[in-house]
């Protein structure tokens, strides 16, 4: 909470085992594609809705959730020559002020979507626990993992 007011730690000063706040730019070649749109991102939280008869009076149509999807590719955040890896634990990531994209339903198809994303080049402020890399993660850089409260807070800066 109030991540924008928290004091940040330089990436070069990170030490394993400490909960820190860092700021930098998303640097990643490992991107995902937002389903149905082709928009490239490193993280997304998307809801797809369908327009159909619902439970309200007289079976009048309304927008009902069809499916929800969250994915994270794992990505690097860098400041200057220093980099840190953000783990891909999608259940632990909380994004505030992400890039928003919403799709209008095409003619005669009653579906729409709304997505919150993080993209390459976004400036972010991140709070998490510093750790050593594990198998499958880039070696030579430290990793930001969920804190003891099982969260990684990410605030997209403008």
Domain layout of the chain by residue ranges: 3-45+71-110+118-157
Cβ atoms of 116 and 61 closer than 8 Å: no
- pLDDT (average), residues 102-126: 85
For tokens 């969250």, what's the residue?
70
125: left (phi over 0), alpha (psi -120 to 50) or beta: beta
CATH topology for 3-45+71-110+118-157?
A: OB fold (Dihydrolipoamide Acetyltransferase, E2P) (2.40.50)
- The pTM of this model reads 0.88
pLDDT at residue 24 greater than cutoff 80: yes
Distance CA 64, CA 76 (A): 36
Indicate the average pLDDT of the chain.
88
* Higher pLDDT pick, 121 / 60: 121
């Amino acid at each position: 909470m109030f991540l924008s007011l928290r004091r940040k730690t330089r990436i070069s000063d990170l030490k394993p085992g400490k909960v820190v706040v860092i700021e930098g730019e998303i640097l990643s070649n490992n991107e995902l594609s937002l389903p149905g749109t082709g928009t490239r991102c490193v993280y997304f939280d998307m809801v797809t809705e369908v327009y159909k008869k619902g439970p309200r009076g007289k079976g009048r149509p309304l927008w009902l959730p069809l499916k929800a999807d969250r994915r994270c590719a794992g990505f690097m955040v860098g400041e200057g020559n220093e980099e840190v890896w953000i783990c891909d634990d999608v259940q632990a990531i909380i994004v505030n002020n992400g890039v928003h994209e919403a799709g209008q339903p095409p003619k005669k198809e009653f579906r729409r979507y709304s997505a919150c994303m993080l993209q390459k080049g976004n400036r972010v402020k991140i709070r998490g626990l510093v750790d050593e890399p594990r198998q499958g993660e880039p070696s030579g850089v430290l990793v930001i993992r969920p804190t003891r409260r099982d969260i990684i807070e990410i605030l997209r800066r403008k």
